[in-house]
Structure 1
Amino acid sequence: MKLFFSFLFSLFYFISFAQEVAILKYKGGGDWYSNPTALPNLVKYCNDYIDTNINENIKTVEAGSTDIFQFPLLHMTGHGNVFFSDDDAENLRNYLVSGGFLHIDDNYGMEPYITKELKKVFPNSELIEIPKNHAIFSTAYNFPNGLPKIHEHDGKAPKAFGIFHESRLVLLFTLETDLGDGWEDEEVHNDPEEVREKALKMGANIVKYAFEN
Protein backbone atom coordinates (compact mmCIF):
# COMPACT_ATOMS: atom_id res chain seq x y z
CA MET A 1 0.00 0.00 0.00
CA LYS A 2 2.82 2.41 0.88
CA LEU A 3 4.49 1.59 -2.44
CA PHE A 4 1.22 2.30 -4.23
CA PHE A 5 0.85 5.74 -2.68
CA SER A 6 4.52 6.46 -3.26
CA PHE A 7 3.88 5.73 -6.93
CA LEU A 8 0.90 8.07 -6.93
CA PHE A 9 2.90 10.81 -5.30
CA SER A 10 5.67 10.42 -7.87
CA LEU A 11 3.11 10.44 -10.65
CA PHE A 12 1.49 13.59 -9.33
CA TYR A 13 4.87 15.27 -8.87
CA PHE A 14 5.73 14.52 -12.49
CA ILE A 15 2.49 15.78 -13.98
CA SER A 16 1.93 18.70 -11.60
CA PHE A 17 3.89 20.82 -14.05
CA ALA A 18 1.14 20.20 -16.60
CA GLN A 19 -1.66 22.72 -16.71
CA GLU A 20 -4.81 20.65 -16.45
CA VAL A 21 -8.12 21.05 -14.68
CA ALA A 22 -11.04 18.67 -14.30
CA ILE A 23 -14.60 18.53 -12.98
CA LEU A 24 -15.09 16.30 -9.96
CA LYS A 25 -17.97 13.85 -10.19
CA TYR A 26 -19.39 12.71 -6.87
CA LYS A 27 -22.10 10.39 -5.54
CA GLY A 28 -25.26 11.32 -3.68
CA GLY A 29 -27.50 12.54 -6.45
CA GLY A 30 -26.33 16.15 -6.52
CA ASP A 31 -25.95 17.82 -9.91
CA TRP A 32 -22.17 17.73 -10.21
CA TYR A 33 -22.67 18.46 -13.93
CA SER A 34 -24.30 21.88 -13.42
CA ASN A 35 -22.82 24.99 -15.08
CA PRO A 36 -21.50 23.06 -18.10
CA THR A 37 -20.01 26.13 -19.83
CA ALA A 38 -18.38 27.53 -16.69
CA LEU A 39 -15.03 25.75 -16.51
CA PRO A 40 -14.36 25.86 -20.28
CA ASN A 41 -14.96 29.63 -20.24
CA LEU A 42 -12.70 30.10 -17.22
CA VAL A 43 -9.94 28.07 -18.86
CA LYS A 44 -10.17 30.16 -22.01
CA TYR A 45 -10.08 33.36 -19.95
CA CYS A 46 -6.97 32.20 -18.09
CA ASN A 47 -5.22 31.22 -21.32
CA ASP A 48 -6.06 34.59 -22.84
CA TYR A 49 -5.23 36.84 -19.88
CA ILE A 50 -2.88 35.26 -17.34
CA ASP A 51 -0.50 33.35 -19.63
CA THR A 52 -1.64 29.84 -18.81
CA ASN A 53 -1.67 27.05 -21.35
CA ILE A 54 -4.44 24.89 -19.97
CA ASN A 55 -5.91 22.07 -22.01
CA GLU A 56 -9.34 23.35 -23.07
CA ASN A 57 -10.69 19.80 -23.35
CA ILE A 58 -12.19 19.60 -19.85
CA LYS A 59 -12.35 16.11 -18.41
CA THR A 60 -14.57 14.67 -15.69
CA VAL A 61 -13.06 12.48 -12.97
CA GLU A 62 -14.70 10.52 -10.15
CA ALA A 63 -13.78 11.15 -6.54
CA GLY A 64 -12.61 7.59 -5.97
CA SER A 65 -10.52 7.30 -9.13
CA THR A 66 -6.74 7.56 -9.27
CA ASP A 67 -7.28 9.70 -12.37
CA ILE A 68 -7.63 12.72 -10.08
CA PHE A 69 -3.87 12.62 -9.58
CA GLN A 70 -3.43 13.77 -13.18
CA PHE A 71 -4.86 17.21 -12.39
CA PRO A 72 -3.36 19.90 -10.17
CA LEU A 73 -6.82 21.48 -9.88
CA LEU A 74 -10.27 19.91 -9.48
CA HIS A 75 -13.49 21.91 -9.61
CA MET A 76 -16.66 20.75 -7.87
CA THR A 77 -20.11 22.31 -7.88
CA GLY A 78 -23.80 21.53 -7.52
CA HIS A 79 -27.00 22.37 -5.68
CA GLY A 80 -27.78 19.31 -3.59
CA ASN A 81 -26.64 16.13 -1.93
CA VAL A 82 -23.02 14.99 -1.85
CA PHE A 83 -21.76 11.62 -0.66
CA PHE A 84 -18.18 10.39 -0.34
CA SER A 85 -17.57 6.73 0.38
CA ASP A 86 -14.65 5.86 2.64
CA ASP A 87 -12.59 5.06 -0.46
CA ASP A 88 -13.55 8.38 -2.07
CA ALA A 89 -12.55 10.27 1.06
CA GLU A 90 -9.21 8.50 1.36
CA ASN A 91 -8.45 9.08 -2.30
CA LEU A 92 -9.28 12.78 -2.06
CA ARG A 93 -7.21 13.17 1.10
CA ASN A 94 -4.18 11.52 -0.51
CA TYR A 95 -4.62 13.72 -3.57
CA LEU A 96 -4.81 16.93 -1.55
CA VAL A 97 -1.92 16.24 0.81
CA SER A 98 0.21 15.21 -2.18
CA GLY A 99 -0.10 18.63 -3.79
CA GLY A 100 -3.55 18.71 -5.38
CA PHE A 101 -6.13 21.47 -4.99
CA LEU A 102 -9.92 21.28 -4.84
CA HIS A 103 -12.24 24.23 -5.45
CA ILE A 104 -15.84 23.66 -4.35
CA ASP A 105 -18.29 26.29 -5.55
CA ASP A 106 -21.71 26.08 -3.89
CA ASN A 107 -24.26 26.58 -6.64
CA TYR A 108 -26.85 27.01 -3.89
CA GLY A 109 -27.94 24.36 -1.42
CA MET A 110 -24.74 22.33 -1.31
CA GLU A 111 -23.33 23.60 2.00
CA PRO A 112 -24.91 21.24 4.57
CA TYR A 113 -23.97 18.16 2.54
CA ILE A 114 -20.42 19.04 1.59
CA THR A 115 -19.44 20.24 5.05
CA LYS A 116 -20.54 16.88 6.50
CA GLU A 117 -18.72 14.86 3.83
CA LEU A 118 -15.50 16.84 4.19
CA LYS A 119 -15.23 15.53 7.74
CA LYS A 120 -14.59 12.14 6.14
CA VAL A 121 -11.77 13.60 4.07
CA PHE A 122 -10.16 15.55 6.91
CA PRO A 123 -11.59 14.26 10.21
CA ASN A 124 -9.29 16.46 12.28
CA SER A 125 -9.62 19.67 10.28
CA GLU A 126 -12.34 22.29 10.11
CA LEU A 127 -13.35 24.61 7.32
CA ILE A 128 -12.06 28.01 8.39
CA GLU A 129 -12.83 31.37 6.86
CA ILE A 130 -9.98 32.61 4.70
CA PRO A 131 -8.77 36.11 5.59
CA LYS A 132 -9.09 38.78 2.92
CA ASN A 133 -5.33 39.29 2.86
CA HIS A 134 -4.68 35.70 1.79
CA ALA A 135 -2.70 35.31 -1.44
CA ILE A 136 -5.62 33.67 -3.27
CA PHE A 137 -7.28 37.09 -3.44
CA SER A 138 -4.32 38.70 -5.18
CA THR A 139 -2.41 36.12 -7.24
CA ALA A 140 -3.48 37.62 -10.58
CA TYR A 141 -6.08 40.27 -9.71
CA ASN A 142 -6.63 42.16 -6.47
CA PHE A 143 -9.77 41.54 -4.45
CA PRO A 144 -9.07 43.49 -1.25
CA ASN A 145 -12.60 42.83 0.02
CA GLY A 146 -12.49 39.09 -0.64
CA LEU A 147 -14.89 37.18 -2.87
CA PRO A 148 -17.08 39.13 -5.28
CA LYS A 149 -20.84 38.69 -5.08
CA ILE A 150 -22.09 37.18 -8.35
CA HIS A 151 -25.60 35.91 -7.63
CA GLU A 152 -28.09 36.76 -4.91
CA HIS A 153 -29.72 33.85 -3.14
CA ASP A 154 -30.26 34.52 0.55
CA GLY A 155 -28.92 38.05 0.54
CA LYS A 156 -25.85 37.00 2.52
CA ALA A 157 -22.27 38.16 2.02
CA PRO A 158 -20.00 35.86 0.04
CA LYS A 159 -17.68 33.70 2.12
CA ALA A 160 -14.49 31.81 1.33
CA PHE A 161 -13.64 28.86 3.55
CA GLY A 162 -10.66 26.58 3.33
CA ILE A 163 -8.82 23.60 4.69
CA PHE A 164 -5.08 23.87 5.20
CA HIS A 165 -2.52 21.08 5.30
CA GLU A 166 0.92 21.97 6.65
CA SER A 167 0.14 25.67 6.11
CA ARG A 168 -0.85 25.15 2.46
CA LEU A 169 -4.40 25.88 1.37
CA VAL A 170 -5.50 22.62 -0.25
CA LEU A 171 -9.25 23.15 -0.49
CA LEU A 172 -11.32 26.26 -1.19
CA PHE A 173 -15.07 26.34 -0.56
CA THR A 174 -16.81 29.40 -2.01
CA LEU A 175 -20.26 30.14 -0.60
CA GLU A 176 -22.97 32.73 -1.33
CA THR A 177 -21.12 33.95 -4.41
CA ASP A 178 -21.83 31.45 -7.22
CA LEU A 179 -18.64 32.10 -9.16
CA GLY A 180 -19.51 29.34 -11.64
CA ASP A 181 -22.67 31.14 -12.70
CA GLY A 182 -20.52 34.13 -13.58
CA TRP A 183 -18.21 31.95 -15.66
CA GLU A 184 -21.02 30.54 -17.77
CA ASP A 185 -21.98 31.78 -21.24
CA GLU A 186 -23.49 35.25 -20.98
CA GLU A 187 -26.93 34.22 -22.17
CA VAL A 188 -27.34 31.57 -19.46
CA HIS A 189 -27.85 34.00 -16.58
CA ASN A 190 -27.74 37.38 -18.35
CA ASP A 191 -25.25 38.73 -15.84
CA PRO A 192 -23.83 42.18 -16.63
CA GLU A 193 -20.39 42.16 -18.22
CA GLU A 194 -18.74 43.71 -15.15
CA VAL A 195 -20.17 40.97 -12.91
CA ARG A 196 -18.94 38.21 -15.22
CA GLU A 197 -15.55 39.91 -15.36
CA LYS A 198 -15.26 39.85 -11.57
CA ALA A 199 -16.18 36.18 -11.48
CA LEU A 200 -13.64 35.29 -14.16
CA LYS A 201 -10.89 37.31 -12.50
CA MET A 202 -11.49 35.62 -9.16
CA GLY A 203 -11.52 32.29 -10.97
CA ALA A 204 -8.18 33.17 -12.56
CA ASN A 205 -6.81 33.83 -9.07
CA ILE A 206 -7.91 30.37 -7.97
CA VAL A 207 -6.32 28.73 -11.00
CA LYS A 208 -3.06 30.61 -10.61
CA TYR A 209 -2.90 29.86 -6.89
CA ALA A 210 -3.58 26.15 -7.45
CA PHE A 211 -0.87 25.85 -10.09
CA GLU A 212 1.77 27.76 -8.12
CA ASN A 213 1.28 26.48 -4.58
Structure 2
Amino acid sequence: MAWRIWCTMGLVKEHAQAGGGCPDALWTVLAGNGLEFVPAPDTLPAVEELALQETEVRDGKRCGRTHVHLQLTPEGPESLPIASLHAMAGEIQTTVANSVNFSFQPNFPLGTIDQATELFRGLVRIWQPDAGILSTKETIREVTDLYDTYAGYLTWISSAPFGTPPDLASASAESFGEGTLLTARDWSVPGVKNMHTELLGAGAPALTAFPRDRQRVPTFREEHTF
Protein backbone atom coordinates (compact mmCIF):
# COMPACT_ATOMS: atom_id res chain seq x y z
CA MET A 1 0.00 0.00 0.00
CA ALA A 2 2.81 2.42 0.88
CA TRP A 3 4.45 1.92 -2.52
CA ARG A 4 1.17 2.66 -4.28
CA ILE A 5 0.66 5.82 -2.22
CA TRP A 6 4.21 6.99 -2.90
CA CYS A 7 3.84 6.42 -6.65
CA THR A 8 0.49 8.22 -6.61
CA MET A 9 1.98 11.23 -4.84
CA GLY A 10 4.61 11.59 -7.53
CA LEU A 11 2.21 11.06 -10.43
CA VAL A 12 -0.47 13.52 -9.25
CA LYS A 13 2.06 16.16 -8.17
CA GLU A 14 3.83 15.92 -11.53
CA HIS A 15 0.49 16.31 -13.31
CA ALA A 16 -0.39 19.38 -11.23
CA GLN A 17 2.99 20.97 -11.93
CA ALA A 18 2.97 20.24 -15.69
CA GLY A 19 2.66 23.29 -17.89
CA GLY A 20 3.07 25.66 -14.96
CA GLY A 21 -0.31 24.75 -13.48
CA CYS A 22 0.82 24.48 -9.85
CA PRO A 23 4.64 24.61 -9.79
CA ASP A 24 4.77 24.70 -5.98
CA ALA A 25 2.31 21.85 -5.37
CA LEU A 26 2.98 20.04 -2.09
CA TRP A 27 1.48 16.95 -0.46
CA THR A 28 0.48 17.43 3.17
CA VAL A 29 -0.66 15.18 6.02
CA LEU A 30 -2.46 15.88 9.29
CA ALA A 31 0.03 16.54 12.07
CA GLY A 32 0.18 14.39 15.17
CA ASN A 33 -1.67 17.06 17.16
CA GLY A 34 -4.63 16.71 14.78
CA LEU A 35 -4.85 20.48 14.39
CA GLU A 36 -2.89 21.29 11.25
CA PHE A 37 -1.51 19.89 8.04
CA VAL A 38 2.25 19.64 7.55
CA PRO A 39 4.40 18.55 4.59
CA ALA A 40 3.95 14.83 3.93
CA PRO A 41 6.92 12.44 3.67
CA ASP A 42 8.25 12.19 0.14
CA THR A 43 10.50 9.13 0.24
CA LEU A 44 9.31 5.55 0.07
CA PRO A 45 10.73 4.56 3.50
CA ALA A 46 9.05 7.58 5.09
CA VAL A 47 5.72 6.80 3.42
CA GLU A 48 6.05 3.20 4.63
CA GLU A 49 6.50 4.53 8.17
CA LEU A 50 3.44 6.78 7.75
CA ALA A 51 1.31 3.85 6.60
CA LEU A 52 2.49 1.83 9.59
CA GLN A 53 1.58 4.67 11.94
CA GLU A 54 -1.89 4.84 10.38
CA THR A 55 -2.52 1.11 10.89
CA GLU A 56 -4.71 0.04 13.79
CA VAL A 57 -3.27 -2.02 16.60
CA ARG A 58 -4.98 -5.38 17.19
CA ASP A 59 -3.82 -7.77 19.90
CA GLY A 60 -0.76 -5.63 20.45
CA LYS A 61 0.26 -5.69 16.79
CA ARG A 62 -0.20 -3.18 13.99
CA CYS A 63 -2.18 -5.48 11.74
CA GLY A 64 -5.63 -3.91 11.54
CA ARG A 65 -7.18 -1.36 9.22
CA THR A 66 -4.88 1.12 7.49
CA HIS A 67 -6.32 4.51 6.55
CA VAL A 68 -4.08 7.15 4.99
CA HIS A 69 -5.36 10.64 4.15
CA LEU A 70 -3.25 13.16 2.23
CA GLN A 71 -3.97 16.56 0.69
CA LEU A 72 -2.24 18.24 -2.25
CA THR A 73 -1.94 22.00 -1.86
CA PRO A 74 -0.89 24.50 -4.53
CA GLU A 75 1.47 26.57 -2.38
CA GLY A 76 2.16 24.83 0.93
CA PRO A 77 0.33 23.62 4.05
CA GLU A 78 -1.44 26.95 4.62
CA SER A 79 -3.19 26.94 1.23
CA LEU A 80 -6.46 25.15 0.53
CA PRO A 81 -6.09 21.70 -1.05
CA ILE A 82 -6.62 21.14 -4.75
CA ALA A 83 -6.71 17.34 -4.42
CA SER A 84 -6.89 14.68 -1.73
CA LEU A 85 -6.20 10.98 -1.40
CA HIS A 86 -8.01 8.56 0.93
CA ALA A 87 -6.62 5.03 0.92
CA MET A 88 -8.13 2.25 3.03
CA ALA A 89 -7.05 -1.37 3.36
CA GLY A 90 -7.16 -4.26 5.79
CA GLU A 91 -10.91 -4.42 6.34
CA ILE A 92 -12.90 -7.66 6.35
CA GLN A 93 -15.32 -6.15 3.83
CA THR A 94 -13.96 -6.22 0.30
CA THR A 95 -15.57 -3.34 -1.58
CA VAL A 96 -16.02 0.16 -0.13
CA ALA A 97 -13.91 -0.51 2.96
CA ASN A 98 -10.89 -1.56 0.88
CA SER A 99 -10.63 1.23 -1.65
CA VAL A 100 -8.83 4.38 -2.68
CA ASN A 101 -10.60 7.65 -3.44
CA PHE A 102 -9.14 10.69 -5.16
CA SER A 103 -10.93 14.05 -4.94
CA PHE A 104 -9.96 16.84 -7.32
CA GLN A 105 -11.15 20.39 -6.64
CA PRO A 106 -12.36 22.59 -9.53
CA ASN A 107 -9.02 24.45 -9.51
CA PHE A 108 -6.97 21.28 -9.95
CA PRO A 109 -5.33 21.49 -13.41
CA LEU A 110 -6.86 18.30 -14.80
CA GLY A 111 -6.15 19.53 -18.33
CA THR A 112 -7.61 18.25 -21.58
CA ILE A 113 -9.51 14.98 -21.89
CA ASP A 114 -6.33 13.35 -23.20
CA GLN A 115 -4.33 14.65 -20.23
CA ALA A 116 -7.00 13.57 -17.75
CA THR A 117 -7.07 10.14 -19.39
CA GLU A 118 -3.30 9.76 -19.06
CA LEU A 119 -3.53 10.59 -15.36
CA PHE A 120 -6.39 8.12 -14.94
CA ARG A 121 -4.40 5.38 -16.70
CA GLY A 122 -1.48 6.01 -14.39
CA LEU A 123 -3.65 5.70 -11.29
CA VAL A 124 -5.18 2.46 -12.56
CA ARG A 125 -1.71 1.02 -13.24
CA ILE A 126 -0.58 1.89 -9.73
CA TRP A 127 -3.59 0.62 -7.79
CA GLN A 128 -4.63 -2.37 -9.96
CA PRO A 129 -8.28 -2.17 -8.84
CA ASP A 130 -11.31 -4.19 -9.84
CA ALA A 131 -12.80 -0.95 -11.15
CA GLY A 132 -11.92 2.73 -11.35
CA ILE A 133 -14.27 5.59 -12.20
CA LEU A 134 -13.81 9.31 -12.83
CA SER A 135 -16.99 11.16 -11.94
CA THR A 136 -18.18 14.43 -10.39
CA LYS A 137 -20.30 15.32 -7.37
CA GLU A 138 -22.90 16.83 -9.70
CA THR A 139 -23.13 13.61 -11.72
CA ILE A 140 -23.48 11.48 -8.59
CA ARG A 141 -26.19 13.84 -7.32
CA GLU A 142 -28.13 13.92 -10.60
CA VAL A 143 -27.87 10.21 -11.46
CA THR A 144 -29.07 8.83 -8.13
CA ASP A 145 -28.56 5.17 -9.03
CA LEU A 146 -25.20 5.75 -10.74
CA TYR A 147 -23.42 2.89 -8.95
CA ASP A 148 -25.96 0.40 -10.25
CA THR A 149 -23.57 0.35 -13.21
CA TYR A 150 -19.98 1.44 -13.77
CA ALA A 151 -20.71 4.54 -15.88
CA GLY A 152 -18.33 7.49 -15.63
CA TYR A 153 -16.47 10.09 -17.65
CA LEU A 154 -13.64 7.56 -17.58
CA THR A 155 -14.12 3.98 -16.42
CA TRP A 156 -11.74 1.08 -16.14
CA ILE A 157 -13.03 -2.40 -15.30
CA SER A 158 -11.03 -5.56 -14.70
CA SER A 159 -11.98 -8.48 -16.94
CA ALA A 160 -11.84 -10.98 -14.07
CA PRO A 161 -14.96 -9.79 -12.21
CA PHE A 162 -16.69 -7.69 -14.88
CA GLY A 163 -15.97 -9.43 -18.16
CA THR A 164 -16.10 -7.41 -21.38
CA PRO A 165 -18.46 -4.43 -21.43
CA PRO A 166 -21.20 -4.27 -24.05
CA ASP A 167 -20.79 -2.11 -27.15
CA LEU A 168 -21.94 1.39 -26.26
CA ALA A 169 -22.96 4.31 -28.43
CA SER A 170 -22.24 6.64 -25.52
CA ALA A 171 -18.62 5.59 -24.90
CA SER A 172 -15.53 4.39 -26.71
CA ALA A 173 -13.76 1.26 -25.47
CA GLU A 174 -10.18 0.04 -25.62
CA SER A 175 -8.26 -2.79 -24.03
CA PHE A 176 -6.00 -1.62 -21.24
CA GLY A 177 -4.10 -4.24 -19.28
CA GLU A 178 -6.36 -7.08 -18.19
CA GLY A 179 -9.45 -4.97 -18.57
CA THR A 180 -11.24 -2.30 -20.58
CA LEU A 181 -11.02 1.49 -20.54
CA LEU A 182 -14.27 3.27 -21.37
CA THR A 183 -14.33 6.97 -22.28
CA ALA A 184 -17.64 8.84 -22.41
CA ARG A 185 -18.16 10.49 -25.78
CA ASP A 186 -19.97 13.41 -24.15
CA TRP A 187 -18.24 14.75 -21.02
CA SER A 188 -21.37 16.07 -19.33
CA VAL A 189 -23.92 14.84 -16.83
CA PRO A 190 -26.36 13.88 -19.65
CA GLY A 191 -23.50 12.08 -21.43
CA VAL A 192 -22.70 9.93 -18.39
CA LYS A 193 -26.41 9.39 -17.77
CA ASN A 194 -26.77 8.06 -21.33
CA MET A 195 -23.89 5.67 -20.68
CA HIS A 196 -25.51 4.58 -17.43
CA THR A 197 -28.84 3.98 -19.17
CA GLU A 198 -27.17 1.92 -21.90
CA LEU A 199 -25.36 -0.23 -19.34
CA LEU A 200 -28.57 -0.80 -17.39
CA GLY A 201 -30.36 -1.82 -20.56
CA ALA A 202 -27.58 -4.26 -21.44
CA GLY A 203 -27.72 -5.88 -18.01
CA ALA A 204 -24.19 -4.83 -17.06
CA PRO A 205 -23.27 -5.61 -13.44
CA ALA A 206 -23.32 -3.00 -10.70
CA LEU A 207 -20.06 -1.46 -9.54
CA THR A 208 -20.20 -3.32 -6.21
CA ALA A 209 -21.62 -6.59 -7.51
CA PHE A 210 -18.58 -8.74 -6.79
CA PRO A 211 -17.62 -8.95 -3.11
CA ARG A 212 -14.87 -11.55 -2.78
CA ASP A 213 -12.43 -12.74 -0.15
CA ARG A 214 -9.47 -12.41 -2.49
CA GLN A 215 -8.94 -10.22 -5.54
CA ARG A 216 -7.53 -11.55 -8.79
CA VAL A 217 -5.10 -8.69 -9.28
CA PRO A 218 -5.07 -7.36 -12.86
CA THR A 219 -1.76 -6.72 -14.59
CA PHE A 220 -0.59 -4.24 -17.23
CA ARG A 221 1.94 -4.88 -19.94
CA GLU A 222 2.69 -1.20 -20.43
CA GLU A 223 5.80 -0.15 -18.56
CA HIS A 224 5.69 3.18 -16.81
CA THR A 225 8.16 4.93 -14.53
CA PHE A 226 6.65 6.95 -11.70
Larger radius of gyration: 2
Structure that is richer in helix per residue: 1
TM normalised by structure 2 equals: 0.28
Structure with more strand by fraction: 2
TM-score, length basis structure 1:
0.29
Say which structure, 1 or 2, has more relative contact order (CA 8 Å, 6+ apart).
1
